[in-house]
Structure 1
Amino acid sequence: MAATTVAEVESVAIIKAKLQALLELARALKSEESVEPPLPTSKLLPEVDILHDDLSDAYDQNYRFAVVEAAARDIFYSYINDTEINDPSFTAVWNLLDILLLCGDRGQCTPELVCWLIEELLDSQTTSGCRTVFDYLESRRARLAAKDFHKKNLVFLRSCNELLRRLSRAEDAIFCGRVFFFLFQTFPLGDKSSVNLRGEFHTENLTTFETPSTETDKAGDQMEVDAPHGDDTSKEAVPPSSLSKAGAKTTSKNQKKDKKTADEEVLSQSELYPIFWRLQQDFCEPTRLFAPDNFQVFKKSLACTITKFKKTNVVPQSKGAEGEKRGMKRKIGNEAANGEAKDHFADNYNPKYLTSSDLFDLELSDIAFQRHILVQALILIDFLLSLTDKAKQKLASLDVTNKSMLYAFTLGEEDTKWATSTRSTIISYIQSIADGRFYCRMVETVLARDKNWVRWKVESCPSIVRDPVSTEEELAARKGASDATRPKRIPVRPNNAMDFSFFEEGGAGGLAALKKASRYTGPSVEELVVGIDADDLDLEFAEGNEAEGLMNAMSNKKWRALRQTRAKRLSMLEKVEPGRTLKEIFMPPTREMAEMGQNTGESNDEGLEVNEQKDANAEDVATAAATDSEAMVT
């Protein structure tokens, strides 16, 4: 048993000596005595990789990791016990954490060892020291989350939540924001660790305020006398809990007068004070409004609050004035002493407002205070509008698996109209104050994203991480993109395009083809006669509409042939006789017919007179034939 203990001590001593040698090397590599910059890993890798070489081969991995952890804790505790965090020699702790982070990534120790030591470091430091530790966390965030984050995430979450419990949200608001930002940037967006899956409300966030004292209630008999000397804007709308018997009598007397609605009532500060601060109970626990009585009280209280806001003269507070008022008390550390720190609270943000009645008048005139309350009202109204029939029907179409986010309560039609109109009133009022449009747009954007967040929780937070694209899908996408962007090949002759081949000089003759006489002169008599003969042959085999078309074409050509003959060769018309075709009349005669015509020609004067008489008769016949052909065509 003793031998085993000695072996364990010896192994721890061996690893401790190697870690101290790495710290000496780190001191030589990093001359700065601060958190930044991180150690260069390339020069430390050879020594880190041989960290276990001097240990016996009989030791398994768990034992080796335990030995490294024991040696690291021994060195770590010696530094934090003897050195202040602001001391320059405390740089050795940052170097040790960098070395252990590298050892965890290289498999020489458990990956979460560095996170355990950081957690213990946060527990051992004051708030000022925790800011320095967070400087280290923020500068190494990418490296800490790069590898084996599933083993470190719970340690980060536990240490950050414990730190948030220690911090004051009023005094350390900026530091709390740094912690939240670190968690948001470190954890994946779809991680469920920070999700309120069951939709639980923060009912522990109680708002305490002053209640009317008993002496004030006993002095209620003097309210009728003191009322005329009080605030002119005060009404008889006192909360039921603070009404005395005399106050009730006063209310009964005033019932005979014309009453204004709740939207028109402007209460005094003393009357509005308890009504206003009771709204916080509804804001932190919206399910109270499922009871009709609570809902009616909430509507009246919110209406009185909005009316009071509208009638109150707001006082905008400049950032410079706020900085002068706060002075150096809000600044941190050495920056405050040097006067170089920026005023982080210049935006006038308070997570928890004071509820003293003496400050209530000043708070009502503060723009930031009014916006804070109105945004709370918008969040609650959006929650109520998500419980309407229409919203529930839309929700039913989704894959709802988280039943804890569903409520049996359904907002009625009248309450829905009230919620919609009140929301519009609040939006209009926010837009009317200084920089209201920009602020309202920012609020609407946040609320819209919150609706998507709620829907994601209703669906039990499905994974938002998309799987990597497969090689086949990538190749198919590339091919589709290539086909879509490929230059289209223009066809030689698109469909329904005109034939412009006649412009080519070598083919159809180019421009010479446009100068042909056939383009601007009609066909000759012989061409018409040939066409008539061709149509006559086609007519023998045609039927129906085709035969009728050929008959019309033949009549048209006959009429044109006779018109040309009358104008140029009038004597030819005497040969037109029934039973003879135009081909027999107008086709050129053969050689035998020409010789016979020359031998039988007459040479006396009587023959000339006879010929003239024939020409006259032929002209009459041609005119009659042309008229008949015209009628046939028509």
Structure 2
Amino acid sequence: MAKIMNFDLLRTEFKEILTEAFAANKIELLENKVKLYKNTDSDIKSPLDQAFRDLLLELLTKEVNVTTLKTYIDFSIESCRRHLDTSTLPVVLLGDIFDILTLDMCQQMFTFVEENVQVWKEELFFTGCKNNLLRLCNDLLRRLSRTTATVFCGKILLFLAKFFPFSERSGLNIVSEFNLENITEYGTDSTEDTVTEIKSGDTKHVIDFSFYCKFWQLQDFFRNPNQCYDKVQWKVFCSHSMSILNTFHGIKLDYITSGQNSNVGYFAKYLTSQKLLDLQLHDVSFRRSVLLQFLIVFQYLPSSVKFKSDSYELKTDQKEWIQSATEKVYNLLKETPPDGERFAEIIKNILKREELWNVWKNDGCPEIKKFLPQNDSDLKVRSDKAHLLGDIIQQSKEQGKFYMGSGELTKLWNYCPNNLEACKGKERDFLPSLEDFFAEAVAQMESQTPIRDEDNLLKDSNFDWRALRLLARRSPYFFSINLQNNPLPKYLEMMVNKIAHEKPDKNVDENSQEARENEQEMEENINLTENAAEDLKQDASEDFVDDNNPRRENKHISEERLEVIIEKIAPEWEKLAVKLGYKEDEIDWFKNANPTRIDQAKNIIHLWFEDDEDANLDNLLYILEGLDMQEAAEAVKSEISNSADAI
């Protein structure tokens, strides 16, 4: 069939064969019909999807049977698995069903959605259906009452928790908002005040209108705990809380277990009539509910939440009050029968786990992966399917990591992939201070007890070698001293004297003749050293070369000599720019800022000589040879040779 079929014609044909296939429960009939149109240019899936929805509408207009509807959705799922229609079709059909059915029938139909949660999580359905399923569940929740249909609402929320992964942000309260619409209304007419006295031992507790208002006013703080960060509201919260907790402490509960197995009802909201408060205070479930609300608020107020305002912070005395109040609440839970000790321990574990979830949200909700234990057979299968070494190295390179062949070496090497930056780390500076290193030598010199030569640190060759290395790192000019007139132990002795002299708690007798002579000799040597250092600097500035000192290249080459080198670099200056560390946008800037290639090359060479400490002709020659820029390299060689001949 080569011609393009009309949409309505295809829709009618598919509906007829679909009706027959569903009645006989034979998906093959529908599959054979679709194959007839596979080689045509017609869009097959759209009319087939519409045929499914048309047949569903006929089923819903007849006497509605939930079992038939479930079978019909199963039939559409099988059709999707055979790639006859779009993967979103089953959820679209479910949306049509829930839009038409009553809430009681919706609850029966939702059981089918729950039981097939693994189907919706399949790769075929998950990506296309997740948004449709979320919309379906939200539409149902809007139709339901949170107080009368609590169980159904809970089933929907549990399904969403099972369906979406932990890291799915659409199911999380990311910004930590409170349900401010959950308002607890209570009586405010004091004319109907009823006073009740409850005796507990020798203590009387008066349950009057004032206590009634305090009790139910706390629900506003539980609804929005951020009010407690206000000074005035904090005082109100503390006053009301202690009044309620003291009343709970004074009213002891007696719990009598019934021989009959009676189901205790669950109420999402308690009645707030003042006449019922006396009975509610004696109810175990009611008391535990209120105490648990206290614990939740006490845990939230001092905790660190990512989206809290900076002003929401408790003072030290407020934190201490919360800690003492928390202990009091736990004691009340332990005293509340039945199994108070066990119930309090369970609540403590639940709240501790909530702290972990809070930390997880503060970290940006990273994906949680479950690692299953592996047995030997699993490891063997994995080893048989091990990737080639080249593939592993390539994969590591793409991730910006190094693969060293060993797990530990790979881990250590990737702590800081940039070796130069790792070497600059402060933790790699193991060099001791002069005071710490020479502390024992100073102590020997300050000691009045004679020191034997074998115990004298200044005459220990190992100590002398390490001392010279340390002095070289701390003050390089110390090596310029004339050691023929000042032997090494004598030189180190002068250094130790200097260190001891600079110590704030020195005990050296400065009035002694020997100390003054050593000080004078040390000053003369330091002056000699500084003069020698100045001479070395002067020699370097004049490109002085002798047998004992290496030649230091002067950066300041004449403009005429530099022009010759720049002309050779100009044809390929971009290669040199990349090697010198300039980025692509910087290279484009050089091109736009300078009209000719010679001007562009001149600009980049001048910048390099000005900014880089290592910029000299020797390094430039090395770079050009590595880039295979032979003509430019020969020009630099010629310039280096001319400079040496001139010297």
Q: Which residue of the other structure, out of 332, 342, 355, is the alignment partner of 1:429?
A: 332
State how far apart, in whole Å, the 2-side matches of 1:73 and 1:183 are.
Answer: 25
State how far apart, in whole Å, the 2-side matches of 1:100 and 1:378 are.
Answer: 49
State how far apart, in whole Å, the 1-side matches of 2:261 and 2:280 are.
Answer: 15
> Residue 288 of structure 2 aligns with which residue?
371
> Residue 107 of structure 2 aligns with which residue?
131
Tell whether 2:34 aligns with 1:10.
Answer: no
> Residue 141 of structure 2 aligns with which residue?
164
> Residue 641 of structure 2 aligns with which residue?
none
Structure 2 residue ranges without an equivalent (≥5)? 387-647
Q: Which residue of the other structure, out of 44, 53, 58, is the alignment partner of 2:40?
A: 58
Map residues 177-576 of structure 1 onto 2, 5 A cutoff.
177-213=154-190, 215=191, 231=197, 266-314=205-253, 316=255, 323=262, 346-387=263-304, 403-405=306-308, 407-434=310-337, 435-465=339-369, 475=383
State how far apart, in whole Å, the 2-side matches of 1:310 and 1:321 are.
Answer: 30
Please say if residues 91 and 129 of structure 2, whose CA atoms lie closer than 8 Å, have aligned partners that are also in contact. yes
State how far apart, in whole Å, the 1-side matches of 2:33 and 2:235 are.
Answer: 71
State how far apart, in whole Å, the 1-side matches of 2:192 and 2:111 are.
Answer: 54
> Residue 75 of structure 2 aligns with which residue?
99
Please say if residues 289 and 295 of structure 1, whose CA atoms lie closer than 8 Å, have aligned partners that are also in contact. yes
Q: Give the AA of the match of 2:78.
A: L
Task: String of CA shifts for 1:103-127, please: whole Å, max 9, x gaps.
Answer: 2233221111111111221221222
Task: Using the TM superposition, give the Cα deviation of residue 477 of structure 1 relative to its aligned residue in structure 2, in angstroms.
Answer: 13
Please say if residues 233 and 266 of structure 1, whose CA atoms lie closer than 8 Å, have aligned partners that are also in contact. yes
State how far apart, in whole Å, the 2-side matches of 1:25 and 1:319 are.
Answer: 55
Task: String of CA shifts for 1:277-298, please: whole Å, max 9, x gaps.
Answer: 0111111111111101101110
State how far apart, in whole Å, the 2-side matches of 1:133 and 1:319 are.
Answer: 37
Query: For residues 12 and 197 of structure 1, do their structure 2 counterparts lie closer, same or farther at Cα, with a shift above 3 Å needed?
Result: same
Please say if residues 319 and 347 of structure 1, whose CA atoms lie closer than 8 Å, have aligned partners that are also in contact. no
RMSD over equivalenced CA pairs, Å: 3.3
Q: Which residue of the other structure, out of 32, 47, 67, is the alignment partner of 1:67?
A: 47
**Secondary structure of the corresponding residue to residue 171 of structure 2:** coil
Please say if residues 207 and 280 of structure 1, whose CA atoms lie closer than 8 Å, have aligned partners that are also in contact. yes
**Secondary structure of the corresponding residue to residue 44 of structure 2:** helix
Please say if residues 315 and 366 of structure 1, whose CA atoms lie closer than 8 Å, have aligned partners that are also in contact. no
Q: Give the AA of the match of 1:355.
A: T
State how far apart, in whole Å, the 2-side matches of 1:476 and 1:82 are.
Answer: 59
> Residue 577 of structure 1 aligns with which residue?
none
Map residues 606-625 of structure 1 onto 2, 5 A cutoff.
none
Query: For residues 460 and 154 of structure 1, do their structure 2 counterparts lie closer, same or farther at Cα, with a shift above 3 Å needed?
Result: same
Q: Give the AA of the match of 1:379.
A: I
> Residue 591 of structure 1 aligns with which residue?
none
Q: Which residue of the other structure, out of 78, 84, 105, is the alignment partner of 1:108?
A: 84
Please say if residues 23 and 95 of structure 1, whose CA atoms lie closer than 8 Å, have aligned partners that are also in contact. no
**Secondary structure of the corresponding residue to residue 52 of structure 1:** helix
Q: Give the AA of the match of 2:274.
A: S
Please say if residues 14 and 54 of structure 1, whose CA atoms lie closer than 8 Å, have aligned partners that are also in contact. no
Please say if residues 145 and 186 of structure 1, whose CA atoms lie closer than 8 Å, have aligned partners that are also in contact. yes
Higher CA-based Rg:
1
State how far apart, in whole Å, the 2-side matches of 1:321 and 1:166 are.
Answer: 37
Task: String of CA shifts for 1:410-466, please: whole Å, max 9, x gaps.
Answer: 211111111011101101110122211222222122212221222111112111136
Please say if residues 186 and 272 of structure 2, whose CA atoms lie closer than 8 Å, have aligned partners that are also in contact. yes
State how far apart, in whole Å, the 1-side matches of 2:243 and 2:385 are.
Answer: 61
Task: Using the TM superposition, give the Cα deviation of residue 194 of structure 1 relative to its aligned residue in structure 2, in angstroms.
Answer: 1.2
State how far apart, in whole Å, the 2-side matches of 1:176 and 1:433 are.
Answer: 30
Task: Using the TM superposition, give the Cα deviation of residue 183 of structure 1 relative to its aligned residue in structure 2, in angstroms.
Answer: 1.7
Could you state the TM-score of these two structures normalised by the residue count of structure 2? 0.53
State how far apart, in whole Å, the 1-side matches of 2:34 and 2:368 are.
Answer: 41
> Residue 62 of structure 2 aligns with which residue?
82
Query: For residues 22 and 445 of structure 1, do their structure 2 counterparts lie closer, same or farther at Cα, with a shift above 3 Å needed?
Result: farther
State how far apart, in whole Å, the 2-side matches of 1:292 and 1:474 are.
Answer: 62
Q: Give the AA of the match of 2:89.
A: L
Q: Give the AA of the match of 2:129.
A: K
Q: Which residue of the other structure, out of 113, 117, 120, is the alignment partner of 1:144?
A: 120
Task: Using the TM superposition, give the Cα deviation of residue 404 of structure 1 relative to its aligned residue in structure 2, in angstroms.
Answer: 2.4
Q: Give the AA of the match of 2:315.
A: G
State how far apart, in whole Å, the 2-side matches of 1:48 and 1:467 are.
Answer: 43
State how far apart, in whole Å, the 2-side matches of 1:177 and 1:297 are.
Answer: 34
Query: For residues 51 and 381 of structure 1, do their structure 2 counterparts lie closer, same or farther at Cα, with a shift above 3 Å needed?
Result: farther
Could you state the TM-score of these two structures normalised by the residue count of structure 1? 0.54
Please say if residues 279 and 301 of structure 1, whose CA atoms lie closer than 8 Å, have aligned partners that are also in contact. yes
Task: Using the TM superposition, give the Cα deviation of residue 266 of structure 1 relative to its aligned residue in structure 2, in angstroms.
Answer: 4.3
State how far apart, in whole Å, the 2-side matches of 1:293 and 1:406 are.
Answer: 18
Task: String of CA shifts for 1:62-110, please: whole Å, max 9, x gaps.
Answer: x32211111001100001111223xxxx543222211111222332211
Please say if residues 198 and 206 of structure 2, whose CA atoms lie closer than 8 Å, have aligned partners that are also in contact. no
**Secondary structure of the corresponding residue to residue 158 of structure 2:** helix
Q: Give the AA of the match of 1:57.
A: N
Q: Give the AA of the match of 2:83.
A: G
Task: Using the TM superposition, give the Cα deviation of residue 302 of structure 1 relative to its aligned residue in structure 2, in angstroms.
Answer: 0.8
Query: For residues 232 and 17 of structure 1, do their structure 2 counterparts lie closer, same or farther at Cα, with a shift above 3 Å needed?
Result: closer
Structure 1 residue ranges without an equivalent (≥5)? 27-42, 218-225, 235-263, 324-345, 388-394, 396-402, 479-634
Please say if residues 316 and 366 of structure 1, whose CA atoms lie closer than 8 Å, have aligned partners that are also in contact. no
Fraction of identical pairs, as percent:
24
State how far apart, in whole Å, the 2-side matches of 1:356 and 1:216 are.
Answer: 11
Q: Give the AA of the match of 1:77.
A: L
> Residue 175 of structure 1 aligns with which residue?
152
> Which one has more relative contact order, counting CA pairs under 8 Å at least 6 apart?
1
> Residue 21 of structure 1 aligns with which residue?
20
Task: Using the TM superposition, give the Cα deviation of residue 348 of structure 1 relative to its aligned residue in structure 2, in angstroms.
Answer: 3.6
Please say if residues 302 and 313 of structure 2, whose CA atoms lie closer than 8 Å, have aligned partners that are also in contact. no
State how far apart, in whole Å, the 2-side matches of 1:120 and 1:319 are.
Answer: 48
Task: String of CA shifts for 1:312-338, please: whole Å, max 9, x gaps.
Answer: 243547687794xxxxxxxxxxxxxxx
State how far apart, in whole Å, the 1-side matches of 2:173 and 2:40 are.
Answer: 48
Task: String of CA shifts for 1:248-302, please: whole Å, max 9, x gaps.
Answer: xxxxxxxxxxxxxxxx994424331100101111111111111011011101111
